[in-house]
């Protein structure tokens, strides 16, 4: 082992030997002779926090990322030492802290394998220019290690061999290698030897990650200021790592179900007559749609919280008429407030001193859509409160159901860096700082304030917010989209990667601008993108409007029919998607799973990019190329049914899958019970009088869940929900389904219609709750039956 103290490494400084150690319940303090402190907190058996100071004391501990409801507590904690090191042992981990230089190693408590090991470990460089330290960490990359996560990076799913930067940036027409882009989510997972861990570097300054790019066996991360402050999560399953990170940084409330429907957007639909034309066309063509968006042109001169008198003379009436037709209205709100003494929002912000200022006192003045603007300091609680209050009229009076926060990186036009300069001051919730520290959380705090406003004025209904910029934890308040992509085949693939990556980074409620924002897709690209988009938690077509139209009917009847078919499929799958959302909300489980997250043990999955699991039991894979009749794809291990043909295939191999323009490769896991609604033109159009369950036979066992509630409102938080667990067990002459129910919500329907798919035997007898039933009583025909939703045990047998 080389000692760091023996290294001459650029201008870097290193901790020296430990001279003091103390334990304070779950916090361990290690102090070195050169005044470095490592504060190691044991949050859970598998979650450790490492915090370093180079000056012998810590600043106030404050983070926007951490959820106040994050789990804490462990089963076991033991600290011992030998000549070389301190040894911290929990039920899951062993952490060594070396006495000579403060380096750490983390091992699996069960078998002693090394999971994550400091290379140089913590070191730093004093930055005269920036003030404070550039804090750095380097880790040994283990043999065969792969890396995932990091938010919205458009790169390959596996990050190995690449370097990234986190600095929220307005990135019009970004590409595969553009970095950084809109979001800063400094969380990644590592995987080697079938063991996965995660690291969340909770530092809001400009952060960097290098995954074996600079040096082949080293992964490092650093920041241009702030503390070396990171959380370590151990799996060994990657899904558990993601779950732990998501538990720490939080999940959203359930969205209103309509927010999981299809949304239509464009920059911009105006005037009112055009909005109506579009919504009418959806209804005429019977293409389901739940939300219509108003981009910046609905405002009077781009002044937030105003309406253009010319284009939208009576917003309240219009919003109501749209609502009567099943459309929720979502409006854009940007952070820039136009400098205009006649504009009350500006005047109030000015009078109350709510706008950001430069270091020496002038306002932070920047040009955005409205012209010269000032920008609220959303990092001040009082400003967030004010901002939330501004939604009163929009929501309570006019009836807007959702708000879209754009430009919140924050974006500024025609200036170097496309954002605020570094000297701008922020309150940072009572920890005053410069923009260098607040930049990456500015958009998050804006979305947070917006969310609170919507929640207040929409109560008892649930709010819907969408943001462009985000930092870790932003998922608690809002959904997100990937920003200004381009109408190309490569971007379809990028959208797929980004949605998977965001889900793996705790932010599941995300989707791309379907069809591409910049430029114009042709019909084929649009149809293929819709096919992908309906499997993303957020599903919206959006375009810049510069190149003509981008609606489901823009590209002729054939394309319209394909688009309708897939949007209808999304509406049928709403109860499945909603259950998936519930599992995310409740159990922190990502809604989309890259194959590596689904089956890390199978090394084939480590570099797969296109295929992903939608929820827990559906496998989707978009067609990424023109003129395709299908594609080769990897089917993960296990048995899968082709959704369109019901043919069963065994996974663990790559294969060709047919998919003409009106199909996309889609599979259902054997044993799954998939709930389905009838097609509706919008959520709530129909009373659901029967729930369809597609049951995919499996020789073996499989568990499924169905979550239901009122689809809006907060009754579910008071126990008025229904969570059903289906345990399926099948063999060559029998299929048994047991249901276990919790919660107290009474669904609108009384019966299930159950379709049995792939039954290997002819059904000769049916038992419901241990009583034989007459085939006629359950309308048994072609492996379909109708049964009371109250059943707890259903058996089909070959004799
Ligand atoms: O400078 O509001 O990403 O979705 O349509 C462009 C106009 C500002 C960028 C967003 C895009 C939106 C557009 N906005």
Q: Which two tokens stand for residue 472?
A: 């870790």
Sign of CA dihedral 598, 602, 605, 611: negative
Q: In degrees rounded to 5, what are phi and psi of residue 570?
A: -60, -45
Distance between CA 369 and CA 355 in Å, rounded? 17
Is the CB of 296 inside a 6 Å radius of any atom of ligand 1? yes
Residue 611 vs residues 158, 452, 596, 620: alpha-carbon distances, Å:
13, 36, 10, 6
Ligand 1 binding pocket includes 484 (Cβ within 6 Å): yes
* Orientation of helix 557-572 relative to helix 523-533, angle to 10°: 0
DSSP per position, 672-692: -EEEEPPP-SSTTSS---EEE
Best residue among 330, 406, 510 to mutate for probing ligand 1, ranked by most atoms within 8 Å of CB? 406
Residue 653, burial from CB neighbour count under 10 angstroms (0-12, 13-18, 19+): exposed
Buried b (16+ CB within 10 A) or exposed e, 86-125: bebbbebbbbbbbbbbbbbbbbbbeeeebbbbbbbbbbbe
Among 101, 118, 152, 406, the one annotated catalytic: 406
Q: For residues 187 and 506, is the Cβ–Cβ distance under 8 A?
A: yes
Instruction: Phi first, then psi: give them for residue 451, nearest 5 degrees.
Output: -60, -45
Decide whether any atom of ligand 1 lies within 6 Å of the 247 Cβ.
no
Catalytic residue, from 247, 409, 639, 702: name it. Answer: 409
Please choose, from the candidates 678, 698, 601, 690, the residue with its C-alpha nearest in 3D space to the C-alpha of residue 193: 601
Cα 771 from Cα 528, distance rounded (Å):
48
Measured in angstroms, how far is the CA atom of residue 152 from the centroid of ligand 1?
17
679 Cβ contact partners less than 8 Å away, ≥ 6 residues apart: 288, 568, 571, 572
Nearest atom within ligand 1 for CA of residue 296:
2
- The answer for 293, left when phi > 0, alpha when psi is -120 to 50, beta otherwise, is beta
Residue pair 184/444 in contact (Cβ under 8 Å)? The answer is no
Residue 267 Cβ inside 6 Å of ligand 1? The answer reads yes
Cβ 295 under 6 angstroms from ligand 1: yes
Q: Among 407, 418, 481, say which to mutate for ligand 1: greatest number of ligand atoms within 8 Å of CB.
A: 407
Domains 18-235 and 687-797 share a fold: yes
φ/ψ of 225, rounded to 5, equals: 150, 180
Helix (H, G, I), strand (E, B) or coil at 492: helix
Q: What is the predicted pLDDT for the residue at 9? A: 57
Q: Using alpha carbons only, give the angle 406, 409, 413 rounded to the nearest 5 degrees.
A: 85
Q: Buried b / exposed e across 264-295, counting CB within 10 Å, b at 16+?
A: bbbbbbbbbeebbebbeebeebebbbbbbbbb
**Ligand 1 atom closest to Cα of residue 544:** 5
Of ligand 1's listed atoms, the one at least distance from the Cα of 413 is 1
pLDDT of the residue at 11? 87
Q: What does the alpha-carbon distance between residue 222 and residue 132 come to, in Å, rounded to a whole number?
A: 13
- Residue 28, CB half-sphere, CA atoms under 13 Å: how many? 21
β-pair type (263-264, 93-98): unpaired
Q: Give nearest CA residue, ligand 1 atom 6.
A: 407
pLDDT on residue 546: 86
Is the Cα dihedral 247, 250, 252, 254 positive or negative?
positive
Strand pairing category for 648-650 and 639-642: antiparallel
**Is there a cis peptide before residue 460, judged by omega within 30 degrees of 0?**
yes
- Inter-residue contact 482 to 512 (CB < 8 Å): yes
| Three-point CA angle 206, 207, 212, nearest 5° | 150
Active site annotation includes 409: yes
CA distance 612 to 634: 10
Task: For residue 180, report the distance from its CA to the centre of ligand 1, in Å.
Answer: 18
Q: Does the domain formed by 592-669 have CATH 2.60.40.1180?
A: yes
Distance CA 616, CA 704 (A): 9
Task: Tell me which CATH homologous superfamily contains domain 18-235.
Answer: glycosyl hydrolase (family 31) (2.60.40.1760)
Q: Which residues pair with 148 in a beta bridge?
A: 189
- Quote the CA–CA distance of 761 and 798 in Å, as a whole number: 6
Question: Could you give the CA distance from residue 160 to residue 148 in angstroms, rounded to a whole number?
Answer: 8
Half-sphere exposure of 60 (CA within 13 A, CB side): 8
CATH number listed for the domain at residues 260-334+383-409+442-587: 3.20.20.80
DSSP state of 780: -
Find the angle CA(412)-CA(416)-CA(418) to the nearest 5 degrees.
Answer: 30
Per DSSP, 398 falls in state T
Q: How far apart are CA 396 and CA 404, in angstroms?
A: 17
- Which DSSP letter does residue 297 get? G
Number of the ligand 1 atom closest to the C-alpha atom of 268:
5
Phi and psi of 91, rounded to 5°? -65, -25
Q: What is the pLDDT of residues 690-725, one digit of tens each?
A: 999 999 999 999 999 999 999 999 999 999 999 999
- The domain segmentation of the chain, as residue ranges, is 18-235, 260-334+383-409+442-587, 592-669, 687-797
E strand residue ranges, 653-791 = 653-658, 666-669, 673-676, 690-696, 700-708, 722-731, 734-742, 751-757, 765-768, 771-772, 784-788
Looking only at the bridges linking them, the beta strands covering 425-426 and 433-434 are: antiparallel
Cα 119 to Cα 620: distance, rounded to the nearest angstrom: 39
Q: End-to-end CA distance of the chain, in Å?
A: 69
What is the C-alpha separation between 444 and 477, in angstroms, rounded? 8
Is ligand 1 within 6 A of the CB of residue 260? Answer: no
Nearest to 283 by CA among 318, 315, 316, 326: 326
45 lines ligand 1 (CB under 6 A): no
Say which CATH topology domain 687-797 has: Immunoglobulin-like (2.60.40)
Distance 267 CA to ligand 1 centre (A): 7
Comparing CA positions, the residue from 230, 238, 174 lying closest to residue 207 is: 230
Respond yes or no: is residue 762 known to be catalytic.
no
Q: Which positions ≥6 away from 466 have C-beta within 8 Å? A: 330, 402, 403, 404, 405, 478, 479, 480, 481, 538
Q: Whose CA is nearest to atom 13 of ligand 1?
A: 267
| d(C-alpha 452, C-alpha 463), whole Å | 9
Q: Are 755 and 736 in contact (CB under 8 A)?
A: no
Residue from 168, 170, 267 whose mutation best tests the ligand 1 pocket (most atoms within 8 A of CB):
267
Q: Are 281 and 553 in contact (CB under 8 A)?
A: yes
**For ligand 1, what atom is nearest to the CA of residue 483?**
3
Question: Catalytic pick from 377, 484, 610, 663?
Answer: 484
Give yes or no for a contact between 94 and 76, defined as CB atoms under 8 angstroms apart.
Answer: no
Q: Which residue has the tokens 């509406």?
A: 571
Q: Give pLDDT tens digits for 181-230.
A: 999 999 999 999 999 999 999 999 999 999 999 999 999 999 999 999 99
Q: Could you say which residues of the chain have pLDDT below 50?
A: 1, 3, 5-8
DSSP 645-658: T--EEE-SEEEEEE
16: exposed, middle or buried (Cβ count in 10 Å: 0-12, 13-18, 19+):
middle
How many other CB atoms are found less than 10 A from the CB of residue 5? 12
pLDDT at 224: 97
Q: Where are the beta strands (DSSP E) in 281-397?
A: 291-294, 328-333, 337-338, 366-368, 371-374
- Cβ of 332 closer than 6 Å to ligand 1, yes or no, is yes
User: Using an 8 Å Cβ cutoff, are 26 and 76 in contact?
Assistant: no
What is the SS3 assignment for 543-584?
A: CCCCCCCCCCCCCCHHHHHHHHHHHHHHHHCHHHHHHHHHHH
The question of whether 484 is a catalytic residue gets the answer yes
């Amino acid at each position: 082992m080389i000692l760091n103290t023996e290294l001459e490494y650029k201008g870097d400084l290193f901790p020296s030997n430990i001279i003091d150690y103390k334990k304070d319940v779950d916090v361990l303090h290690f102090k070195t002779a050169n005044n470095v402190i490592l504060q190691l907190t044991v949050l859970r058996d598998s979650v450790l926090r490492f915090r370093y100071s180079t000056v012998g004391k810590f600043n106030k501990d404050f983070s926007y990322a951490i959820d106040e409801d994050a789990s804490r507590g462990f089963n076991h904690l033991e600290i011992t030492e030998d000549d070389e090191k301190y040894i911290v042992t929990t039920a899951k981990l062993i952490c060594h802290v070396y006495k000579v230089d403060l380096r750490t190693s983390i091992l699996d408590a069960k078998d002693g394998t090394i999971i994550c090991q400091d290379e140089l470990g913590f070191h730093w460089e004093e930055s005269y220019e920036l003030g404070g330290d550039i804090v750095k960490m380097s880790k040994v990359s283990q043999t065969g290690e792969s890396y995932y996560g990091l938010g919205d990076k458009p790169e390959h799913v596996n990050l190995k061999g690449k370097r990234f930067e986190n600095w929220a940036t307005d990135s019009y027409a970004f590409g595969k290698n553009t970095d950084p882009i809109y979001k800063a989510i400094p969380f990644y997972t590592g995987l080697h030897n079938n063991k996965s861990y995660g690291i969340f570097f909770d530092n809001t300054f400009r952060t960097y990650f290098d995954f074996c790019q600079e040096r082949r066996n080293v992964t490092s991360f650093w920041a241009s200021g702030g503390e070396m402050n990171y959380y370590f999560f151990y799996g060994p399953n990657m899904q558990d790592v993601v779950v732990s990170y998501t538990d720490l940084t939080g999940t959203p409330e359930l969205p209103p179900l309509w927010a999981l429907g299809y949304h239509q957007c464009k920059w911009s639909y105006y005037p009112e007559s055009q909005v109506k034309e579009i919504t009418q066309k959806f209804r005429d063509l019977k293409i389901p749609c739940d939300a219509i968006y108003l981009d910046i042109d609905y405002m009077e001169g781009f002044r937030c919280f105003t309406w253009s008198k010319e284009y939208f003379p009576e917003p309240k009436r219009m919003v109501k008429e749209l609502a009567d037709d099943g459309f929720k209205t979502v409006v854009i709100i940007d952070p820039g407030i136009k400098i205009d003494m006649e504009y009350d929002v500006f005047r109030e912000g000015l009078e109350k001193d709510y706008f950001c200022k430069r270091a020496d006192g002038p306002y932070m003045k920047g040009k955005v859509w409205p012209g010269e603007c000032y920008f609220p300091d959303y990092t001040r609680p009082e400003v967030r409160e004010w901002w939330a209050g501004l939604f009163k009229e929009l929501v309570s009076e006019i009836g807007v159901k959702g708000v879209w926060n754009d430009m919140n990186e924050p974006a500024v036009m025609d200036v170097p860096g496309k954002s605020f300069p570094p000297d701008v001051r922020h309150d940072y919730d009572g920890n005053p700082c410069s923009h260098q520290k607040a930049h990456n959380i500015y958009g998050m705090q804006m979305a947070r304030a917006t969310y609170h406003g919507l929640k207040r004025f929409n109560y008892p209904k649930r709010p819907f917010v969408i943001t462009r910029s985000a930092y870790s934890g932003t998922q608690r308040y809002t959904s997100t989209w990937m920003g200004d992509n381009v109408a190309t085949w490569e971007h379809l693939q990028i959208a797929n990667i980004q949605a998977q990556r965001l889900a793996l980074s705790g932010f599941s409620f995300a989707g791309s601008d379907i069809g591409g924002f910049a430029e114009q897709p042709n019909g084929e690209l649009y149809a293929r993108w819709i096919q992908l988009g309906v499997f993303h938690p957020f599903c919206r077509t959006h375009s810049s409007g510069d190149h003509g139209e981008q609606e489901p009917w823009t590209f002729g009847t054939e394309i319209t029919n394909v688009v309708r078919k897939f949007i209808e499929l999304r509406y049928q799958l709403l109860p499945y998607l909603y259950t998936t959302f519930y599992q995310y909300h409740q159990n922190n489980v990502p809604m989309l799973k890259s194959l590596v997250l689904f089956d890390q043990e199978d090394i084939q999955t480590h570099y797969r990019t296109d295929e992903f699991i939608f929820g827990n039991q559906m496998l989707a894979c978009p067609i990424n190329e023109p003129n395709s009749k299908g594609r080769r794809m990897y089917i993960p291990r296990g048995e899968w049914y082709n959704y369109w043909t019901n043919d069963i295939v065994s996974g663990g191999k790559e294969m060709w899958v047919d998919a003409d323009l009106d199909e996309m490769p889609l599979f259902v896991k054997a044993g799954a019970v998939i709930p389905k609604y009838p097609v509706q033109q919008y959520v709530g159009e129909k009373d659901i009088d029967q729930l369809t369950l597609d049951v995919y036979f499996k020789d073996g066992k499989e568990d499924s869940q169905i979550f239901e509630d009122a689809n809006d409102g907060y009754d579910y938080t008071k126990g008025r929900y229904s969570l059903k667990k289906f345990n399926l067990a099948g063999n060559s002459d029998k299929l048994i389904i047991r249901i276990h129910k919790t919660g107290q919500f009474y669904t609108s329907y009384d019966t299930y219609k159950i379709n049995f798919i792939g039954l290997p035997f002819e059904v000769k007898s049916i038992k419901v709750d241990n009583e034989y039933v007459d085939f006629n009583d359950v309308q048994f025909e072609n492996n379909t039956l109708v049964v009371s939703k109250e059943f707890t045990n259903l058996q089909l047998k070959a004799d």
